[in-house]
Every structure is written in C-alpha cells, then in structure tokens.
Amino acid sequence: MLDMQRQISANQALSRLRADGVPCSSCGAKNPVTAEAAVQIVCRFCGAPILLSDHVDTSAVARSRLKLGVNQMRQMIDDGERKQRRNTVIIVVCVLAGISIVWS
C-alpha cells in the first residue's frame, strides 16, 4: 500500500512537471514538455540537456513510457482488427455476388 501511494505521488509529480514545464539546471528557464514519451528535453534557451528524472522519480517516467507503449500497441491491434473485419466483409460480398451471378 505504501509503495502504491509512492507511485501515485510520483505520477502526479510527473504530470505537474509536464503541465508546468521543466526548469533548466543551467539557465533556470522553464521549458515545456511537449512529447509524452520524453525522457529528456533540450533547453530552448541555452541548449542544455534536461533529464526529467532529475526532477521526478525515474520509475514514474518509465511507467509513463510503458503506458504510452501499451496504448499504442492496443491502438495497432484495434486498427488491425478493423482492417481484418473490412476485408472479411469485402470477401463475403464478392463471394455472394459471384454466387448470384452464377445462379442467374
């Protein structure tokens, strides 16, 4: 239970960091985190690399990337299933049309 609370608070900290922006350790400027799967960004003012794990728990960043990957895989599976259903309908219609032409 304690570990779950720690994970939830780390996930919330990562969400806040993405919403508020990441401060640069070199120049102090706030930089937006636009990519959901970002592990590091480059400061748009001084060009210094900024690691998100320097500001939040590393496991929160990893969980976020894992969740994004799983969601992308689900989307790919759903797209494949839709494509397969469409192909099945096309084949069935073609077969039925061929049968109706033969019987005519």
Residue 39's Cα: distance from chain center in Å? 13
- For residue 31, give its domain range: 2-103
**DSSP letter string over the chain?**
-HHHHHHHHHHHHHHHHHHH-EE-TTT--EE----TT-SEEE-TTT--EEEGGGTS-HHHHHHHHHHHHHHHHHHHHHHHHHHHHHHHHHHHHHHHHHHHHHH-
What's this model's pTM, rounded to 2 decimal places?
Answer: 0.68
How many structural domains comprise the chain? 1
pLDDT per position as a tens digit, 43-99: 999 999 999 999 999 999 999 999 999 999 999 999 999 999 999 999 999 999 999
Nearest to 54 by CA among 69, 43, 44, 46: 43
Total residues belonging to the chain: 104
